[in-house]
Structure 1
Amino acid sequence: MRTYRNPVLNADWSDPDVIRVGDDFYLTASTFTKVPGLPILHSRDLVNWTIIGHAYTRGYDDVRPGCGVWAPSLRHHDGRFWIFFGDPDVGICWVSAEDPRGPWTPPHVVKPGLGLIDPCPLWDEDGQAYLVHGWAKSRAGVNNRLTLHRMAPDGGTVLDEGTLVIDADLLPGYRTLEGPKLYKRDGTYWIFAPAGGVEQGWQSVFRAESIFGPYEDRIVLEQGGTDVNGPHQGGWVDTPSGEHWFMHFQDRGPYGRVVHLQPMEWGADGWPVMGNGGEPVAEHRVPVPGGAPAAPATSDDFAGPELGLQWSWQANPDPSWWELRDGALRLACVPGPDDLRERPSVLGQRLPGVPCTVTVTVTLAGEGRAGLAVVGDTAAFVGVERGADGKLALICGDTDPVPVAEDGPVTIGARVGDGALVTFLADGGEIGAPFQATQGRWVGAVLGLFAAGDGAGEAIFEAFTVDIER
């Protein structure tokens, strides 16, 4: 019997939702202002996942931490894949596609407004459609409540002003109820929704005979005696054999929101039981036998015609920023903020949730600077710089520049240890002071490549390698 260990996705796959279509499982996650956003992951067993595309290809032109694409819901209806998501500054939107690999439609706003987040649709057997969503207090002034709308079956618009179906201010101990997922099973309506905040919260479910309530509630997953803090917000999915599972995240600070898989059964009293009696499992039997080992890509030899699907920009990219040619990534040394947290042209990927060593070879042609960065609420980097005098030097934090004897490729890197403590590397040795990686606004830290200057120089990156410590 094959087993798996949690987390099954050990990196920042925030606010996951998952569905099954035939024998295939698909998962998406929130991406805030990263471009492209709304990644689509595929699996045959709920444990081994690969990235197959993105559903959202344009965002904001500037970096806006904590804005953009919030918690999505993924559904398959009428032969199409649908992702509903909230942009708290725009409203509730969706994108749709026949093939999960794309192309996806441009975003459609089904309900405009500030602070509308975490939407989930339900198409009922009688042809009626519904939409539930939460509220962001930062924009709407309220939260801890869920609102339900009748929705046009084509998703074009909501059809009423909305009904407050769950006011968690009236539930003892509840705070920050959000992230609802709406289901129907054997004639009963279910809303799976987390509460209590991402760091110390829990997963609740609500059930009612009418979709408009009244709903009764139960907490079905919480930390208990485990080391999995705040286990909540995700999706319920079944397997072809009829088993039930729940995927959710755990907030791990600089590593972001990693994804766990819990067995789920329906108890004699009709309520779901998740994990081991309501506590997360560390290890369990693989849901579907026979799946091949797989994981989202990290390393990249830059030999493909397109950037690897693990990469994203911090805002809308300009095509002039980059080129793949001769087995290398070429980044133009473009102008922009010196603060890497504010620079749209940082190309990043998720920080692995376990210790690892990252290396990349960079050649700087012309003036400018370029390097490998770790970016969250704070940022640091190691790289190379060439000034007007034409001399090349290694740079890292407050360390004095180190002259490079030969004008050619330099191997730079980072060793990310326990707790996401980063030691930067250059030509095989350590450089600079250790740097503590930190989470960003609702996201984990990222590993980034950048090039900066007046636009005349170019950085040539080769062989980006991520070695995971086993």
Structure 2
Amino acid sequence: MSRRPWTADLGDGTYRNPVLNADWSDPDVLRVGEDYYLTASSFGRAPGLPLLHSRDLVNWTLVGHAVERLVPEEEFTEPQHDRGVWAPSLRHHDGTFWIFWGDPDHGVYQVNAPAIQGPWSTPHLVKPGKGLIDPCPLWDEESGEAYLVHAWAKSRSGVKNRLTGHRMSPDGRGLLDDGRTIVDGDQIPGWFTLEGPKLYRHDGHFWIFAPAGGVETGWQGALRARDFFGPYEARVVLRQGGTPVNGPHQGGWVRTPAGDDWFLHFQARGAYGRVVHLQPMRWGEDRWPVIGDAGEPVAVHPKPGLPRQPVAAPATDDDFPGGRYGPQWQWTANPRPGWTARHAGDGLRLSCVPSGQAHDLRRLPHVLVQRLPAERFTAEVGIRLDGTAAGARAGLAVLGDAFSWIGLQRDADGTVRLVHRFAETGAERERDAAAARSAPDGSARLRIEVTEGARCHFGADTGSGWTPSGEVFAATPWRWVGALLGLFATAPPGDGPPSAATFTHFRITP
């Protein structure tokens, strides 16, 4: 029996949604040969632009990232949870993989690589400006022209509900005109917050798949025109209807080698983030796409007609061999030397980094995080606190606009205690969630059990068996980002002796 907290493949030729039951926000998908690739928003975490691989669109594995460090680097030395890499587009042209994304504070960037494994180029700023988001390129094989479309973030630009189009240089490094509005959402009755465009060529038309109506309550639209610059016709092609799938929001269209069409999109689920659904897609008699079950999301459906694959899901567990961590982990800012230490055995050694913000995990750049992997699961990790620095502490956290953590702290007299703390949304300092207790040998096993509604139950074993700790904590997202599991080690500022924490056998079970 699988110990994964969620698998989409039901083993009987069908799958259930979501196919990725974690915060893979703003997904885009691509087929090259018999392989499918997906990338997603990573916002202010590093490395950024996750890269996932599948052979059947249902079973996915995380194979790496396209951006090691966020740019401009000096702006991401501290956490910027809702900034950074927004809504990427993944394409393959002329033997090269391309990813374009919008940084709402700087403009449209791109990276490229000869293979999905890289090496990926350094980020190149294609179009500078505020509020430029959700870019998507198209190399039109019929005309030889290249194009770019993007949306707007009103918070930075004062503009929304518009799609702007450009001619682009074939090398993807520059734009050939000043751009113009190719779709004005205000002119489409009932449409608002038009965003997330994905650009395609099909059946003699330019197609833009784009959501509108808001992340939690909107719908997926399709627009088509004979000319890239319009005019475009618009139609709603996927809506919540009678299903529990709110949104449904932006994603990408992909076609199998046999010519079958599929659409991947996200659904916003609060603290769990934006989970990814797979919908069947066909072209109706009027040559418009029909997504899902007559335009509504499916819950269970026959798998794509592709070769059977082993059941898989993005990795969560980690033994940290040699002190290295797997690709499922990201830092909350660009990493710095000395945060981790390589060694010959297993276990992650985190330095207790001195910080004046040690009381607020939301402000620490040296928190190693991964996504909540399912609606219900249990996360466990072993921890040992090394060194003699007073005030050094380390632990396992659920991190969002509110946070809670359980772990170890060394007191001024040298003793180590198990502590459990939390901070509410808007609170500037954390508070005790439970009374501290002794950890006699400076080690413990820590646990967070997450139940429906992202309700978190904390516990620890300091040598005499598992004991629950504190009240139930309700995880919260940031504005665009789901809650995260985190490992951290920190210390008060000063010139005291260095300390470190060793984490072992990180496990997630149903």
Same fold (TM over 0.5): yes
1:15-94 superposed matches below 5 A: 15-59=26-70, 60-94=76-110
Instruction: Give the Cα–Cα distance (whole angstroms) in 2 for the partners of residues 324 and 360 of structure 1.
Output: 19
Among 210, 226, 233, the residue aligned to 1:209: 226
Task: Verify: 1:342 aligned to 2:363, yes or no.
Answer: yes
1:309 matched residue in structure 2:
327
Partner AA of 2:482 in structure 1: G
In structure 2, the CA distance between the partners of 1:405 and 1:299, relative to structure 1 (3 Å rule), is: closer
Q: How many angstroms apart in 2 are the aligned matches of 1:88 and 1:277?
A: 35
Q: 1:190 aligns with which of 207, 221, 224?
A: 207
CA deviations 1:108-157 (Å, max 9, x no partner) are 01100000000000001222100000000000101101000001000111
What pairs with 1:5-24 in structure 2 (closer than 5 Å)? 5-24=16-35
Where do residues 114-153 of structure 1 align in structure 2 (5 Å cutoff)? 114-125=130-141, 126-153=143-170
The corresponding residue for 2:490 is: 452
Aligned to 2:9: none
Q: How does 1:277-288 map to 2 (within 5 A)?
A: 277-287=294-304, 288=306
Cα deviation, 1:205-248, whole Å, max 9, x if unaligned, reads: 00011111110000000000000000120000011111000000
Equivalent residues in 2 for 1:32-431, closer than 5 Å? 32-59=43-70, 60-125=76-141, 126-287=143-304, 288-303=306-321, 306-325=324-343, 326-336=345-355, 337=357, 338-366=359-387, 367=389, 368-397=392-421, 398-399=432-433, 401-427=435-461, 428-431=466-469
* Aligned positions, number: 468
CA contact (8 A) 1:33 1:66 kept: yes
Q: 2:474 maps to what in 1?
A: 436
Are the aligned partners of 1:415 and 1:424 in contact in 2 as well (CA < 8 Å)?
A: yes
Letter in 1 for 2:460: A
Task: Please name the residue that 2:6 is paired with.
Answer: none
Q: Aligned partners of 1:95, 1:323: CA distance in 2, in Å?
A: 30
Contact 1:393-1:401 within 8 A present in 2 as well:
no
2:509 aligned with 1:467, yes or no? Answer: yes
Q: Distance in 2 between matches of 1:289 and 1:218?
A: 34
CA distance in 1, matches of 2:439, 2:146: 67
Cα pair 1:425 1:431 within 8 Å, conserved: yes
| Mapped partners of 2:81, 2:187: distance in 1 | 32
**What TM-score, normalized to structure 2?**
0.90
Q: Which segment is superposed worse, 212-221 or 403-412? A: 403-412
Identity %: 59
Distance 2:80 2:415 in 1: 36
**C-alpha distance after superposition, 1:66-100 (max 9, x if no partner):** 11000000000010000000001110000000111
TM-score by length of 1: 0.98
Once the two structures are TM-superposed, the CA of residue 377 in structure 1 deviates from its matched residue by 1.0
From the superposition, tell whether residues 62 and 276 of structure 1 become closer, same or farther in structure 2 (CA, over 3 Å). Answer: same
- Does the Cα contact within 8 Å between 1:303 and 1:324 map onto a contact in 2? no
- Taking a change above 3 Å as real, the CA distance of residues 45 and 121 of structure 1, as seen in their structure-2 partners, is same
Q: What is the identity, as a one-letter code, of the residue corresponding to 1:378?
A: A
Question: Counterpart of 1:250 in 2: which secondary structure?
Answer: strand
Distance 1:87 1:52 in 2: 23
2:425 alignment partner in structure 1: none
Structure 1 segments, 4+ long, off by >6 Å, are none
- What's the CA shift for 1:289? 3.5
Distance 1:127 1:317, change over 3 A: same
Deviations along 1:298-330, one digit per CA (max 9) or x if unpaired, are: 011112563201000000111201124310100
Cα separation, 2, equivalents of 1:353 and 1:364: 29
Note the alpha carbon deviations across 1:328-366, whole angstroms, 9 max, x for none. Answer: 100001122121111100000001222111111100012
Whichever residue aligns with residue 447 of structure 1, its letter is L
Q: Matches of 1:83 and 1:399 in 2, distance apart?
A: 43
Classify the secondary structure of the residue corresponding to 2:379.
Answer: strand
- Aligned CA RMSD, in angstroms, stands at 1.1
In the TM superposition, residue 278 of structure 1 has moved relative to its aligned partner by: 0.2
| One-letter amino acid of the structure 2 residue matched with residue 341 of structure 1 | R
Kept after mapping to 1: 8 A contact 2:323/2:346: no
